Amino acid sequence: MVDPMSPTPLYVQVADLLAAEIKSGGIASGAAIPSESRLQQEHGVSRGTARRAVALLVERGLVVTVPQRGTYVKPA
Amino acid sequence: MVDPMSPTPLYVQVADLLAAEIKSGGIASGAAIPSESRLQQEHGVSRGTARRAVALLVERGLVVTVPQRGTYVKPA
DNA sequence: GTGTATTTGTTCGTATGTATC
DNA sequence: CGATACATACGAACAAATACA
């Protein structure tokens, strides 16, 4: 769960949760991660925050976003 | 209420009021205390004074301040 | 993608009372 | 007596990050 008391920005927390889920295999290579709207609901954040979280994963090279399709876990 | 006539500095009075509210459970662990601007309004003091009050609570170890987020009651 | 609101961080200036030199 | 220093308190303004709509 995200922690409002943490000094870590919410979008970083969401990104870290997703990264952990990817690393553990909870989301397989090539599979889509939850949509922005799903991330909103699951973590109780705004869409802007969800978007930033995904953008962070893209920066880290963990996922690739395909316009009008979704965001997918990169193959190792 | 804060008393401008008291020899106790206003920022100490505000800090003591907040400390009492925390101790009594009026503000739970992990919950945010009022923002500086709210403390201004509630106690009729300047923001500088509100800031000093919060800083005092941080010194006492009662709360932690997260930049651009807020100030939260430390877990016991 | 944009715009707005909120919150803390920071820096000025001014005024007052107290204490010190 | 005058001059200085310090702490308190207020006011205003702006910056930056976060979050939401």
Q: Is B55 on the interface with A (CB under 8 A)?
A: no
**Close Cβ partners of B27 (under 8 Å, ≥ 6 residues apart):** B18, B21, B33, B73
CA quadruple A31, A19, A35, A38: dihedral, nearest 10: 130
Check B72 against A4: CB less than 8 A apart.
yes
List, for residues B32-59, the tens digit of each pLDDT value. 999 999 999 999 999 999 999 999 999 9
| Chain A residues inside the 8 Å CB shell of B35 | none
Confidence (pTM): 0.77
**Close Cβ partners of A51 (under 8 Å, ≥ 6 residues apart):** A36
List, for residues A11-54, the tens digit of each pLDDT value. 888 888 888 888 888 888 888 888 887 888 788 888 888 888 88
Write down all domains in chain A, each with its CATH number in brackets.
10-73 (1.10.10.10)
Q: Is the CB of B52 under 7 A from strand C?
A: no
pLDDT of residue B68: 94
The separation, in Å, between residue B5 CA and nucleotide D20 C1' comes to 42
Q: Quote the minimal CA–CA distance from A67 to chain B in Å.
A: 32
CB B67 within 8 A of CB B50: no
pLDDT of residue B66: 94
User: β-strand A70-73 against A63-66: which pairing, if any?
Assistant: antiparallel
Scanning every strand, the nucleotide with its C1' closest to B6's CA turns out to be D8
pLDDT of residue A63: 85
